[in-house]
């Protein structure tokens, strides 16, 4: 282990860390939700139901959840850089390979595997930054990673939609796979190795004890289920709004539909606003207010006026990111010991909620109507609001 200085703002090492960690977030989230804007094309190509095609998104997030749970135990056994490089390059290869897969079932299976390997980046990225970067610039480094996540998720969806409209969905997947492979190779070449971390064996008994404690804490359980429900509603909207906008009364082209994913910029504002408000207000009140705003945004999506739908989507997106930011902060604050175990369980619930609700609502939409679909989402968000109410109040201790 090196005992030298951690990377500071002026050092070349910090500049490389900052750039590479941004690129890693860009690659991970471009791939994770790659198929989301392509679901109408894929459903038509495989002659299948809306819910079946959405399993391409859910499979990746289920794999991500399983991978994060696995790495909660094993991440500290591997070199930080080696694990991240393996994750980035192997996931890109799986994305490229999926271009030639003729079966939807096999595509879904590859999605699970891709989600699993790609979780290696998310499992250790923040730990690497806190270990290798000076405390004064840790927040800046983390913000670069989170910006990469958001921009990757947004640009990947927009690029996939535009490319698919021009060249077909398989070629769109191929191009993004190649782009992700190049990002992985750049990361491999430039990302600095750890100076302040040595791989070590995991204390499984301690990990299990910590996880059991969090899973029997009603406060933590409510936060976990809130995360699960709000991400499920969020992914459902972005999975299926593209289907609605293609048909009457909107009849929008793929090119215009692509730009609904620019709404992710509101997510950045949601996170920033939450950070500022948390200095002045109790966290439980910010969480409650964010969930109420999510309800309002969801209700506006019933409208047949495109401007109201766009406004509603903006409100919905901003408030989701605000609620998610606050719930994850409250989880970390509650866990005075075993923070990695507490946050691992949080992400497990988060991605399983994304997968189960994100696909399940597709079958409801196929069997009923858009309005019924929205009512189901409203019910899920209402339950998440009820979970914030407690006799002792949901207050971070």
Phi, psi angles (nearest 5°) of residue 92: -65, -40
- DSSP state string for 70-133: HHHHHGGGS-HHHHHHHHHHHHHHHHHHGGG---HHHHHHHHHHHHHHHHHHHHHHHHHHHHHB
What is the pLDDT, as a whole number, of residue 6? 85
Class of CATH domain 1-202: mainly alpha
- Separation between Cα atoms, residue 38 and residue 101, nearest integer Å: 16
Collect all residues with Cβ–Cβ distance below 8 Å to 259 and sequence separation of at least 6.
158
Q: Classify domain 203-397 by CATH architecture.
A: Up-down Bundle (1.20)
Residues with pLDDT less than 70, the chain: 1-4, 139, 336, 338-340, 391-397
Domain(s) labelled CATH 1.20.1250.20 in the chain stretch across: 1-202, 203-397
Whole-structure pTM value: 0.83
Per-residue pLDDT reduced to its tens digit, 5-59: 888 888 899 999 989 998 998 999 899 988 988 988 998 999 988 888 889 989 9
């Amino acid at each position: 282990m090196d005992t030298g200085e951690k990377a500071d703002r002026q050092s070349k090492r910090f500049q490389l860390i900052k750039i590479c960690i941004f690129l890693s977030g860009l690659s991970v989230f471009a791939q994770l939700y790659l198929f989301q804007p392509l679901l109408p094309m894929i459903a038509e190509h495989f002659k299948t139901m809306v819910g079946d095609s959405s399993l391409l998104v859910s499979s990746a997030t289920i794999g991500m959840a399983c991978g994060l749970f696995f790495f909660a135990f094993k991440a500290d056994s591997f070199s930080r850089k080696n694990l991240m490089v393996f994750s980035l390059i192997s996931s890109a290869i799986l994305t490229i390979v999926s271009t030639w897969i003729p079966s939807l079932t096999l595509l879904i299976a590859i999605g699970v595997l891709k989600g699993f390997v790609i979780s290696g980046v998310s499992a250790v990225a923040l730990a690497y930054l806190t270990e290798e970067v000076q405390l004064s610039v840790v927040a800046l480094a983390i913000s670069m990673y989170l910006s990469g996540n958001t921009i990757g998720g947004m640009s990947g969806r927009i690029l996939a939609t535009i490319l698919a409209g021009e060249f077909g969905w398989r070629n769109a997947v191929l191009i993004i796979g190649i782009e992700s492979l190049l990002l992985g190779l750049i990361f491999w070449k430039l990302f600095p190795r750890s100076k302040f971390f040595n791989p070590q064996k995991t204390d499984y008994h301690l990990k299990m004890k910590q996880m059991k404690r969090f899973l029997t804490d009603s406060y933590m359980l409510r936060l976990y289920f809130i995360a699960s429900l709000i991400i499920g509603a969020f992914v459902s909207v972005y999975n299926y709004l593209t289907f609605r906008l293609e048909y009457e009364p909107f009849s929008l082209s793929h090119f215009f539909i692509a730009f609904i994913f620019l709404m992710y910029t509101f997510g950045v504002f949601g996170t920033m606003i939450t950070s500022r408000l948390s200095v002045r207000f109790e966290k439980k009140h910010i969480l409650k207010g964010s969930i109420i705003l999510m309800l309002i945004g969801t209700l506006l999506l019933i409208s047949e006026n495109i401007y109201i739908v766009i406004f509603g989507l903006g409100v919905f997106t901003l408030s989701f990111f605000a609620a998610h930011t606050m719930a994850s902060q409250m989880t970390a604050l509650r866990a005075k010991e075993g923070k990695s175990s507490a946050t691992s369980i949080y992400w497990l619930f988060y991605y399983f909620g994304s997968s189960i609700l994100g696909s399940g609502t597709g079958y409801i939409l196929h069997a009923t109507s858009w309005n019924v679909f929205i009512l189901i989402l409203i019910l899920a968000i209402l339950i998440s609001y009820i979970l914030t109410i407690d006799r002792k109040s949901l207050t971070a201790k």
